[in-house]
């Protein structure tokens, strides 16, 4: 029986690079995650595991069979482990279903002997990245308004409570055992990519191979975000209509609709001109919210720092 490994994210921690250039390329890994090879596996992960709160119990064996089929059809003697990677397993913007329910489903399908990889990121940087993504999706209010919304709706519509990493880490340790859970900081990946990847290889017991991940997209700067916000107000779509509501899909392909074409065109233009804009410095977390975030995350981050030897102080996590 081959070892099963599940990388649950979090998003914004280099997950796409790991999926496309490391997990899927390693000769000893039978890779099951994004980008998906089949519609069956996509539906099993993105719908049945992540989004369906009621139907899993009745369909659990069918879902297991999807993974068993995928494992058996792609596995060979050289591939030592089966590895699933999907950041949505750790993060649900709308809180449904509960992430502990997803963890229980993973344990049921892959077994309690599975190994779990959890990658985290400084909560302030996480917010900045999510804000930039929201701007690309039509949001047009300021960064302070974005953060205020997250804080005010902390326990309901906001995703802020989900980046209290400790609770989810503890739950996975309860299900799979502490020795089977690896926690890594995204900042380690940026600082020393080779060391970061070697820790993963050692944990899942595969050879350490020489793979270089592509350079990350630097994201939008202050000036390009301001331009995109103004463009988002002219024709509203997705997050701009209204605050954090699901986008309205017009008939036909998104690229053939007015809003879809406008969305694609504007953020392509903004991306292109971004390097040439004046005063386009990197977005910074507002100092006015520093103390509040320290209050929110300090206790959990202190425990993470001490129990997992993560050196969060070095990376300026809230509370340090």
- The dihedral over CA atoms of 131, 33, 311, 201, expressed in degrees to the nearest 10, equals -150
pLDDT for 61: 77
Residue 6 · residue 107 · CB < 8 Å: no
Per run of 10 residues, the mean pLDDT along the chain (length 320 residues) is: 91 94 93 80 76 64 79 74 91 73 90 97 96 91 94 87 95 97 97 96 94 79 95 84 47 57 86 91 95 97 94 96
Measured CA to CA, the distance from residue 51 to residue 88 in angstroms comes to: 10
Contacts of 276 (CB under 8 A, 6+ apart): none
pLDDT for 72: 73
For tokens 């900045």, name the residue.
Answer: 128
pLDDT, mean over the chain? 87
Among the listed residues 110, 119, 98, the one whose alpha carbon sits nearest the alpha carbon of residue 9: 119
Q: How is 26-65 classified by DSSP, letter by letter?
A: -TTEEE-SSSPS-HHHHHIIIIIITT-SSSHHHHHHHHHH
Measured CA to CA, the distance from residue 285 to residue 131 in angstroms comes to: 11
Contacts of 152 (CB under 8 A, 6+ apart): 158
Helices (H), the chain: 15-18, 39-43, 56-74, 99-110, 123-136, 143-152, 165-176, 186-191, 193-204, 222-234, 258-273, 290-308
- The separation between CA 196 and the C-alpha centre of its own chain, rounded to angstroms, equals 17
């Amino acid at each position: 029986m081959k070892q099963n490994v599940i990388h649950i994210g979090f998003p914004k921690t280099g997950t796409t690079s790991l999926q496309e250039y490391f997990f899927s390329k390693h000769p000893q890994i039978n890779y099951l995650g994004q980008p998906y090879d089949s519609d069956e596996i996509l539906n099993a992960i993105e719908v049945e595991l992540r989004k369906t709160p009621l139907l899993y119990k009745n369909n659990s064996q069918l879902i297991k069979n999807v993974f068993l089929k995928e494992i058996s059809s792609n596995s060979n003697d050289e591939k030592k482990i089966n590895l699933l990677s999907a950041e949505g397993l750790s993060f649900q913007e709308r809180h449904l279903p509960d992430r502990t329910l997803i963890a229980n489903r993973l344990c049921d399908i892959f077994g309690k002997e599975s190994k779990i990889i959890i990658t985290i990121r400084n909560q302030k940087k996480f917010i900045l990245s999510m804000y930039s993504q929201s701007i690309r999706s039509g949001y047009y209010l300021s960064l302070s308004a974005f953060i205020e919304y997250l804080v005010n709706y902390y326990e309901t519509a906001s995703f802020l409570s989900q980046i209290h990493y400790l609770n989810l880490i503890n739950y996975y340790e309860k299900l799979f055992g502490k020795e089977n859970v690896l926690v890594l900081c995204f900042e380690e990946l940026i600082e020393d990519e080779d060391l970061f990847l070697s820790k993963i290889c050692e944990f899942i017991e595969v050879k350490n191979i020489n793979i270089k991940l592509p350079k990350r997209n630097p994201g939008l700067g202050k000036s390009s975000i301001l331009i995109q916000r103004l463009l988002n107000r002219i024709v509203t779509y997705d997050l701009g209509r209204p605050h954090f509501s699901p986008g309205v899909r017009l008939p036909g392909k998104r690229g053939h609709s007015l809003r879809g074409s406008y969305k694609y065109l504007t953020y392509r233009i903004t991306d292109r001109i971004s390097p040439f804009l004046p005063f386009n410095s990197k977005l910074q977390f507002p100092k006015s919210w520093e103390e509040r975030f320290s209050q929110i995350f300090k206790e959990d981050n202190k425990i993470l720092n001490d129990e997992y030897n993560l050196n969060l102080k070095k990376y300026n996590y809230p509370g340090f």
